[in-house]
């Protein structure tokens, strides 16, 4: 008997009957005059509506994170959306706040980033492409500062900027390895000053970080002005305010700063705003969207990029520091196949994608080995922040009962508050009812216990101490190894008064370490810090670890190769 073909994500999304976006807003008590429609099924919340809601009593915040990601994906966004649907199905007032997709991975290796199966947000096609233009606005604001900086150098250089000490790159929202290191200004004096430059992907821009971390328009403008673009001949820092660029940058971000409202497949409100890429940025959605959602719903589900050692650690130490809101519960997403990989079932390379036959072959020993190493460390790391940790086992059709039983038992042995089997990809909100009930109970217990949130270090600690604590207590390293170049940069940061900023560690997402091929829970290594990059306006320093790149490249077989459009303008071969 032939098994019926499961619909693709795109087919499921196209079969949906979305509600008018005004009706979705009203479910959160937001009126029709308080939204700005941005096409079919998507809207921005007006500033007037935001101002009236930011100081309302706050609901419970649930942070969804994951074990180290693998090439086949663990379904973190699917879990985030599915949990939101499930909470509403059991009678709770819930919404989610997720990150906007970057077109780099959409056209590169990942494909769509709006959930999948029966746990998606709509309109999926728009969300995965230009959406409401927020990333384009960030790109434009960032590159406006770049062009004004080079224009300043061309026309007299009144700030006496050292052109060999410019720190501000350019950005683009695509993967393009050829732009990592470039030379600009060639062709004679009319084309400006010739100098070396680089491109980062837009999601790694400090402007993106500022958009996500700013509390309001005034804070946004202040942070933009505080961006350090380079140094003068006398060694003092030059800021965006010094070259009179920050005001115009703020204008370009006026609408991008407003959160975007969409809906889930089941008609629940969902916000999407800023912040992808937790390997090279802090990888979280915006503080202002969280505050709006927490003032309108009893439960808000948000996600942090990649594994808990990446986005969740940065949520705890960067986002929570600036927002003043820590999670009431952590949901740690895991799969049988990810534990097989970390248990050595598919070889010793994290980035190798095994065949479907390899994935389907039962291997309880590999599941156990991966769980008692990789999953155990993720659970214990998250519990160290004094928040309850619920493990959500995202079930796939290839999982056997013996593998699932082993994984659940290991998660409990590692100290998970609850362990739930979820099937939200297949069954939507109904498939997450057990997880939703566990989350509600854990949030109530956490509130009743009154346990204080406990970061791993004091926020006024030196940059190098913060990096050391993260490396040793989160990654399991023996220590850090700061290169001579990074040490010089650190001394300069201290002399400028930035020696105690927060730290954003930029490293591979595939391992706890800086080496993608060190699976499980590696130990006996030092973390090499090659470079410190100042993000003064965002309020953190980026530590570049190992061989991580802030401008990704396309794979040999890019997702873009399979994308097209038919004669009626319909998308073909995209997003699953």
What are 17-42's pLDDT values in tens digits? 899 999 999 999 999 999 999 988 99
- Buried/exposed code over 233-266 (b: 16+ C-beta within 10 A; e: otherwise): eeeebbbbbbbebbeebbebbeebbbbbbbbbbb
Closest CA to 392 of 445, 335, 448: 335
User: 576 to each of 7, 208, 290, how far by Cα in Å?
Assistant: 9, 27, 29
Residue 492 in tokens: 């300069």
Rounded CA gap, 78 and 120, in Å?
A: 7
- Cβ neighbors of 156 (< 8 A, separation 6 or more) are none
The residues near 570 (Cβ < 8 Å, ≥ 6 apart) are none
Q: Report DSSP letters for 113-156, one per residue.
A: -SEETTEEEESHHHHHTTTTSHHHHHHHHHHHHHHHHHHHHHTT
Residue 3 has a pLDDT of: 45
Residue 476, CB-side half-sphere exposure with 13 Å CA sphere: 19
Can you give the pLDDT at residue 153?
Answer: 96
Domain with CATH 3.30.1510.10 in the chain: 134-252
Position 111 scores a pLDDT of 61
Please tell me the pTM assigned to this model. Answer: 0.95
Question: Thinking of the domain 134-252, which architecture would CATH place it in?
Answer: 2-Layer Sandwich (3.30)
CB count in 10 Å sphere of residue 478: 13
Q: What is the pLDDT of residue 530?
A: 97
DSSP secondary structure string for all residues of 381-397: HHHTTT--EEEEEE--T
Which residues of the chain are in CATH 3.40.50.300 domains? 22-132+256-449
Nearest to 502 by CA among 314, 284, 277: 314
| CA dist., res. 215 & res. 319, Å (int) | 11
Q: Rounded CA gap, 323 and 519, in Å?
A: 33
Strand ranges, E, within 188-236: 195-197, 199-201, 228-232
Q: What tokens were used for 513? A: 């370490």
pLDDT value at residue 10:
79
Q: Are 207 and 224 in contact (CB under 8 A)?
A: yes
Q: Which CATH architecture has domain 22-132+256-449?
A: 3-Layer(aba) Sandwich (3.40)
For the chain, residues classed under CATH 3.10.410.10 are: 463-545
**What is the CATH T-level fold of the domain 463-545, as seen in this structure?**
Formyltetrahydrofolate synthetase; domain 3 (3.10.410)
Cis amide leading into 416 (omega within 30): no
Residues in the chain with pLDDT values less than 70: 1-5, 110-112, 350-352, 574-576
Q: What is the pLDDT of residue 280?
A: 86
């Amino acid at each position: 008997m032939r098994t019926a073909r499961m619909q693709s994500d795109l087919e499921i999304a196209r079969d949906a009957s979305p509600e008018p976006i005004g009706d979705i807003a009203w479910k959160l008590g937001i009126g029709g005059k308080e939204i700005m429609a941005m096409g079919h099924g998507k809207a921005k919340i007006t500033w007037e509506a935001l101002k009236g809601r930011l100081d309302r009593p706050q609901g419970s915040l649930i942070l969804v994170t994951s074990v180290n990601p693998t090439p086949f994906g663990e379904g973190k966004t699917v879990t985030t959306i599915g949990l939101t649907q499930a909470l509403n199905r059991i009678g709770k007032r819930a919404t989610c706040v997720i990150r906007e997709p970057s077109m780099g991975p959409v056209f590169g290796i990942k494909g769509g980033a709006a959930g999948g199966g029966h746990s998606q947000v709509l309109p999926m096609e728009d969300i995965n492409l230009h959406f409401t233009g927020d990333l384009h606005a960030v790109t434009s604001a960032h590159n406006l500062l770049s062009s004004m900086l080079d224009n300043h150098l061309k026309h007299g250089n009144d700030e006496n900027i050292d052109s060999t000490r410019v720190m501000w790159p350019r950005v683009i929202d695509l993967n393009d390895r050829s732009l990592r290191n470039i030379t600009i200004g060639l062709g004679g004096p009319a084309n400006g000053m010739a100098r070396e430059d680089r491109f980062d992907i837009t999601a790694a821009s400090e402007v993106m970080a500022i958009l996500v971390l700013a509390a309001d328009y005034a804070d946004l403008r202040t942070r933009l002005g505080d961006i350090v673009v380079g140094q003068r001949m006398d060694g003092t820092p030059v800021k965006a305010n010094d070259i009179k660029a920050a005001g115009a940058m703020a204008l370009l971000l006026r609408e991008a700063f407003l959160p975007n409202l969409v809906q889930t497949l089941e008609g629940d409100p969902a916000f999407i705003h800023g912040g992808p890429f937790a390997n090279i940025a802090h990888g979280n959605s915006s503080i202002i969207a969280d505050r709006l959602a927490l003032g309108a719903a009893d439960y808000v589900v948000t996600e942090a990029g990649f594994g808990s050692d990446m986005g969740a650690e940065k949520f705890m130490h960067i986002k929570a520091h600036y927002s003043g809101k820590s999670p009431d519960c952590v949901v740690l997403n895991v799969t049988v196949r990810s534990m097989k990989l970390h248990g050595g079932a598919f070889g010793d390379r994290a980035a190798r994608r095994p065949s479907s036959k390899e994935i389907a072959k039962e291997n309880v020993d590999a599941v156990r080995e991966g769980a008692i190493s990789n999953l155990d460390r993720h659970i214990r790391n998250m519990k160290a922040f004094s928040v309850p940790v619920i493990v959500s086992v995202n079930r796939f059709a290839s999982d056997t009962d013996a593998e699932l039983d082993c994984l659940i038992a290991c998660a409990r042995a590692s100290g998970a508050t609850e362990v739930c089997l979820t099937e939200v990809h297949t069954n939507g909100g109904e498939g997450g009812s057990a997880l939703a009930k566990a989350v509600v109970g854990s949030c109530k217990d956490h509130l009743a216990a009154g346990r204080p949130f406990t970061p791993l270090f004091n926020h006024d600690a030196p940059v190098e101490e913060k990096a050391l604590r993260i490396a040793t207590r989160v990654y399991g390293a023996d220590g850090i190894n700061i290169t001579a170049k990074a040490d010089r940069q650190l001394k300069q940061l201290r002399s400028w008064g930035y020696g105690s900023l927060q730290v954003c560690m930029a490293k591979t997402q595939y391992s706890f370490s800086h080496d993608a091929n060190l699976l499980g829970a590696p130990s006996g290594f030092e973390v090499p810090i090659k470079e410190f990059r100042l993000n003064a306006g965002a309020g953190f320093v980026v530590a570049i670890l190992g061989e991580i790149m802030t401008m990704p490249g396309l794979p040999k077989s890019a997702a873009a190769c399979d994308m097209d459009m038919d004669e009626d303008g319909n998308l073909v071969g995209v997003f699953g």
